[in-house]
Each structure stands twice: as structure tokens, then as C-alpha cells.
Amino acid sequence: MVKFRLEANGYEISLAHDGQQALEAARKEKPDLIILDLMLPKMDGYKVCGLLKKDARYAGIPIIIFSAKAQEDNIKLCQEMGADAYIVKPFEPQVLLDKIRELTGKE
């Protein structure tokens, strides 16, 4: 659903099905923004976020954590890992679109 909503708003989407694939794709493609779930197979979203944000080549890529985990400790850990935003599922699609525009500076 998120993919289709973003594409309908003119965004080009690249998908990864696990954390390792997400990390490799981010390093290869250097996207304008990453939307990352926390609960991923092979490598969780915390680790993917932390590895990208600790590497100067990728640290500037905004990362939105998009998760059903709404506990304050999850949000705090993501902030410590360098995430730029945290959106809890279920969500209002406009909230995600607004956050993407804010972080990329693109309308």
C-alpha cells in the first residue's frame, strides 16, 4: 500500500525484502530517502540504520523508521541510531508524505 501511494505521488520506489538487502541497496543506489521497518529478516532496522548513519558516505540520507513498535524505548533507540523520523503504523498517508517532503526538501 505504501509503495503504491508513494508512486501515485511521483516517487520512484526501490524495495528490499530484508535488512541485508536494504543495506546493500542503500549503498549501491544512494537513495534520496529510506523508509525502514524495524522488524526485518536477516538484519533488523536498528542495525541497518546504525550502519548507514555511521558511514560518512551514507550518513546524509534521511531515514524514516516506519514501525508498529510504538514504545518510547524503541523510538529513543532509533534516534540514537541516527534515524531522522519515526512513524508508527497504522498511519495517516498524508503524515508520511509530509515527512518525506520535509526531509528531502522536495515537493
Cell numbers 540504520: residue = 49
- Separation CA 80–CA 87 (nearest Å): 16
Q: For 30-85, write each residue's pLDDT tens digit.
A: 999 999 999 999 999 999 999 999 999 999 999 999 888 888 898 899 999 999 99
- Separation CA 83–CA 46 (nearest Å): 9
Given this model, what pLDDT does residue 71 score?
84
Give the domains, in start order, of the chain with CATH numbers.
1-66 (3.40.50.2300)
- Separation CA 27–CA 8 (nearest Å): 26
Q: pLDDT-derived band of residue 107, with 50, 70 and 90 as boundaries?
A: low
Residue among 101, 60, 2 nearest 14 (CA):
2
In the 8-state DSSP scheme, what is residue 13? -
Residue 88 phi, psi (nearest 5):
-90, 135
pTM comes to 0.91
